[in-house]
């Protein structure tokens, strides 16, 4: 029984030491102060040598990953965070016409300060499985 107890303690210590391995799961939700989710764009985490993104879904949730491992997590570390957004124009084909109707893209619906790591004021420390919710503000008019 004593041996079993020591084995359990060693296994617990090993598990806590190893943690999330090479990549830690990072996810969260992006929303406005009133709780409305941001439903477009992507969240970007970066250091001086590493960059990862997570697409924002229609409910405002995101999961971080790298181009080679989308949604697969990111290494431990402290990251500067920004939000990126490209809203494409809408293209509709009018019945009976060969000319498409193109609606210009809308403005990314957040304050511009969030689109750069130098102005967003957002940082996230990843030590293991991390939940990082982000509150953004609408554009300043």
Confidence of residue 5 (pLDDT cuts 50, 70, 90): very low
pLDDT value, residue 70: 76
CA 21/CA 74 separation, integer angstroms: 10
Mean pLDDT of 120-139: 96
| 21-135: CATH, from 1.10.3720.10, 3.30.2350.10, 2.60.40.1120, 1.20.1730.10 | 2.60.40.1120
Q: Which of 39-48, 99-108, 115-124 has the lowest mean pLDDT?
A: 99-108
As a three-state string, the secondary structure of 97-119 is CCCEEEECCCCCCCCHHHHCHHH
**65: number of CA atoms within 13 Å, CB side?**
11
Q: What pTM did the predictor assign?
A: 0.74
What's the rounded Cα separation, in Å, for the pair 26 and 24?
A: 6
End-to-end, the C-alpha distance of the chain in Å comes to 69
Average pLDDT value for residue range 59-82? 90
């Amino acid at each position: 029984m004593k041996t079993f107890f020591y084995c359990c303690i060693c296994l617990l210590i090993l598990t806590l030491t190893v943690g999330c391995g090479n990549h830690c799961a990072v996810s969260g939700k992006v929303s406005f102060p009133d709780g409305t989710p941001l439903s477009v764009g992507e969240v970007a985490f970066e250091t001086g040598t590493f960059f990862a993104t997570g697409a924002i879904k229609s409910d405002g949730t995101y999961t971080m990953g790298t181009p080679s491992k989308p949604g697969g997590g990111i290494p431990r570390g402290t990251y500067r965070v920004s939000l990126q957004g490209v809203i494409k124009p809408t293209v509709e084909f009018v019945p009976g016409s060969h000319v498409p109707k193109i609606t210009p893209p809308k403005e990314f619906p957040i304050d511009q300060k969030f689109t750069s790591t130098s102005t967003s004021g957002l940082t996230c420390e990843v030590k293991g499985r991390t939940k990082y919710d982000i509150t953004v503000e609408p554009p300043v008019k």
